[in-house]
Amino acid sequence: MPPVKIRGRAKKGTINRLLKQLFKRYPGRLIFSGICVVFNVIGNLCSSIFVGLVTGIVTRAIETKVNPFDISARIEADAMGGTFHLATNATILLIIMGVMYVIGIIATWGWNRTMALTTHEFLNDFRKAMFNHMEDLPVKYFDTHKKGDIMSLYTNDIDTIRQFISQTIPEFLRTTLSVLFCLALLIVNSIWITLIVVLCTIAMSLNTKVIGGISAKYFIKAQRQVGVVEGNIQESINGLKVIKVFTHEEESIEQFEKINEELRQYQTEANMKGNITMPINGNIGNFMYVLAAVVCCLLLVLPDFKNLTITGFKEMGNSETSLDAFLSMVTTSLMMCRMFTNNVAQLSQHVTFIVMSMAGASRCFDIMDEQAEADDGYVTLVNCNIDEKGNITESDKKTGKYAWKHPHKADETVTYTELKGDIILDQVDFSYDGKKIVLNDVSVYAHPGQQVALVGATGAGKTTITNLINRFYDIKDGKVRYDGININKIKKADLRRSLGIVLQDTNLFTGTVMENIRYGKLDATDEEVYEAAKIANAYDFITRLPEGFNTMLTGDGANLSQGQRQLLSIARAAVADAPVMILDEATSSIDTRTEKLVQEGMDKIMHGRTVFVIAHRLSTVQNSDVILVLDKGNVIEKGNHNSLIEQKGTYYQLYTGAFELE
C-alpha cells in the first residue's frame, strides 16, 4: 500500500476560501452581525466615557452648588476639555447612557444569535458536503489515510471551524475595534498614560511569548509522551489476558509507572508555565494601573509636568484648570487601561486560535479537493427477457434476468449481452504506488459457475486481484472482462451490483440485524431476508438473539461473536444475489463444523455463480475448479487440486505442509 500521509499545517489561502464560502452564502447575516458588533463595542465604551463624564459633572456640581439631576439646570462643565457639550446634566447623561446600553444589549443579542444560527447551518452543509464527497472518493483514499485522521476531520477539525465562525470572527472584530477605540480615547486623554499602557502591553506580550513558548515546548513533549503512554495502555489492555496467563502483572505495572512518571514531569512543567502566564499578565496590569495613577498624581502636583494630549500640552497642576476635567481624564484613562490590556490579551488568543482552526479547515478542504472516483462507464445493467432463440429484449419490469446494455457510439446501435458471470483477467499488471509491482502479468479465466481459489502468502497479491475485479483500483496494464465486456466500459455501480462480496473484516452497520442483511438489497422483502439468513446458516443464531431479527447492532456488531458477524456478512451477500461472488475467507473465526454448514449454504448460492475465493483452508481449496498459487504478484501455478498435486510443485509442498498457508 502507498505510504500514509502525515497531517500538516494550514495551506495558504485557507482563510480566504472559508470566508469566501461563508460570505457567499450568508452576506446579509454577516453584515448585520458586523453592524451589531460595532454597536456592541460602542455600548461598552460608552460605559467608560459616561462614567468619566458623570464624575466630572458631580464634581463641578459640588463646586457650583447646582443639583446635577435638575433637568432645568445646566452645569458649566469643562468635562473632556469641552469636547462633550452634552455633559451638562447628569439626568440627561444617564438617560443617553441607558439608551446606548439598550442598543448595545440588543446588538449583542443580535450577533450572538445570528452567528450561532449561521454557524450551525453552515457547518451542517459543510459536514454533509464533506461526507458526500468522501463517499465518492476511491478506496485508495481510505487505504492511504489513517482512519483516526479521517475521523478527526469530522470531530476536531469541524469543531475548530465552528469556534472560528461563531466566536473568533465576531470576537476578533469586537476586540480589534475595542483596542482601536481605547487607544483613541487614551490619546485624547493623555499621551503619557498611553505610553505606559503601550509599554505594559509589550511587557505582557513578551511574557506570553517567552513563558508561553517554554510551555508549548513542554506541552509538545508531554503530548508525545501521552502517545507513548497510550500505546502502552493499548498494548497491555489488549494483551491483558496474556499478562495474566504469564503472571506478568508486576513487571508491566513497573514499566507503566516509569513512563507515567515521565509524562507527569512533562505535564507538570507544561501546566506550570501555562498557569503562571495569566497571573503575571494580570499583575502587570495591576502595576500599570498603579503607574497610571501615579502619573495622574504627578500631573497634578508638579507644575512643570504637563499633560500631553492629542491637542497639545495641557496644564493640570494649576488651579485654573478645572477639577472635573481632570477627574474625567483620570477615571476614563484608568478604565481604558484595563479595557485595553484585556482586549489585547484576547486578541492574541484569537490570533493563536485562527492559526489552529485554519490548520483544521485546511485539512477539511484537502479531503474536499481529493479527486472523486471517476466513472466513464456507459455499459449498464438492465432487466431483460430472453426468448427461446436467445434474443434479448430490455424490460422495465423485474424479470429476474439481467443483461448488459452496450450502446455503440460509432453506429449508434445497442447490443445486449446476458449477464452470466464470466470473468477474464488478461495479462494484468498492477502497482499501488507506481513503483512496487504487486501483480505481474496475471491471467485468470473464470467461467460462469466456476470456483477460483487464490492461494499464497500475505502480500502475494490475492486481495489485489479482487480489488481489480470490482474496480476499487484500476489496472495499469492488461484487461479485465466481465461477460466479454471490458470492465472499464461498465458503469461502476452496475459492475459492483453484479458482484457479491464477503470480506474478512465484516463491517456491520448500526441498525437491526434485519437492516444489516437487507443492506445487500434494499428492497428485499422480510421473506427474502429470512431466506438469505437460512442460506448463510445465520437464521438459527439470529432467532436466538434477544430480539431476533430486530436486535440492534452497535459498534460494528460488538455484541456478536466474530463467527456470527461473519455469518451475517454472508447473509448480506446472499440477499444481494449477484452472479459473481468474491469471498475473503476468515482465517480462524469459524470452526470446521460451522464452516461446513456455511459451505453447504454457499454451495446453494454458488450454483450458477462465479466465485473468487481467497482461501485459507485446504477444504475450500480442494473443492475449487481452478487454484491459483500466487507468489510476489506472479501466478506460479494454476490448475485444479489433482493436477497441481501431480505437478508436485509449490502447491504440493503447501498441501503436504512444507509451507504455511496464510
Which positions from 621 through 640 interact with another protein, judged by CB under 8 A? 622
274 touches another protein by CB under 8 A: yes
Q: Outline where 370-439 has alpha helix (H).
A: none
Contact 345, 200 (CB under 8 A): no
Q: Which residue of 3, 24, 28, 237 would you call a contact of another protein, by CB under 8 A?
A: 237
443-502 binders of another protein (CB under 8 A):
457-458, 470, 472, 492-493, 496-497, 499, 501
Least distance to another protein from the beta carbon of 154, Å?
5
641 touches another protein by CB under 8 A: yes
Q: If you write DSSP's letter for every residue of 168-204 in order, what string do you get? A: IHHHHHHHHHHHHHHHHHHHHH-HHHHHHHHHHHHHH
Least distance to another protein from the beta carbon of 54, Å?
5
Per residue, the 3-state secondary structure of 558-586, as one string, reads CCCCHHHHHHHHHHHHHHHCCCEEEEECC
Least distance to another protein from the beta carbon of 55, Å?
6
297 touches another protein by CB under 8 A: yes
174-203 binders of another protein (CB under 8 A):
none
323 touches another protein by CB under 8 A: yes
Q: Which residue of 32, 84, 101, 416 would you call a contact of another protein, by CB under 8 A?
A: 101
**How many chain residues interact with another protein (CB under 8 A)?**
156
277-296 binders of another protein (CB under 8 A):
278-280, 282-283, 286-287, 289-290, 293-294, 296
Helix 191-238 with 323-369: angle, nearest 10 deg:
30
For residue 584, the cross-strand partners are 614
Contact 422, 446 (CB under 8 A): yes
Q: Which residue of 223, 268, 543, 550 would you call a contact of another protein, by CB under 8 A?
A: 268
Least distance to another protein from the beta carbon of 412, Å?
28
Q: What are phi and psi of 309, to 5 degrees?
A: -120, -175
Q: Which residue of 369, 388, 411, 505 would you call a contact of another protein, by CB under 8 A?
A: 505
Question: Which range binds another protein by CB under 8 A, 191-199, 361-369, 424-432, 506-514?
Answer: 506-514
Least distance to another protein from the beta carbon of 243, Å?
7
Helix 191-238 with 169-189: angle, nearest 10 deg:
150
- Side chain identity at 81, as an amino acid letter? G
Least distance to another protein from the beta carbon of 43, Å?
8
Closer by beta carbon to another protein, 535 or else 654: 654
596 touches another protein by CB under 8 A: yes
∠499-502-503 over CA atoms, to 5°?
A: 120
Chain center to CA of 200: 40
Least distance to another protein from the beta carbon of 309, Å?
18
Report residue 211 as a C-alpha cell.
Answer: 513563558
Closer by beta carbon to another protein, 83 or else 510: 510
Sign of the dihedral defined by the CA atoms of residues 493, 495, 496, 497, in that order: positive
User: Rounded CA gap, 452 and 445, in Å?
Assistant: 9
User: Rounded CA gap, 66 and 57, in Å?
Assistant: 10
Report residue 596 as a C-alpha cell.
Answer: 461446513
Q: What are phi and psi of 163, to 5 degrees?
A: -65, -35
Q: Which residue of 9, 12, 25, 120 would you call a contact of another protein, by CB under 8 A?
A: 120
117 touches another protein by CB under 8 A: yes
Closer by beta carbon to another protein, 26 or else 519: 519
Q: Which residue of 242, 302, 351, 355 would you call a contact of another protein, by CB under 8 A?
A: 242
207-226 binders of another protein (CB under 8 A):
226
User: Rounded CA gap, 416 and 380, in Å?
Assistant: 10
Q: Which residue of 433, 526, 646, 662 would you call a contact of another protein, by CB under 8 A?
A: 662
Q: Which residue of 82, 202, 223, 275 would you call a contact of another protein, by CB under 8 A?
A: 275
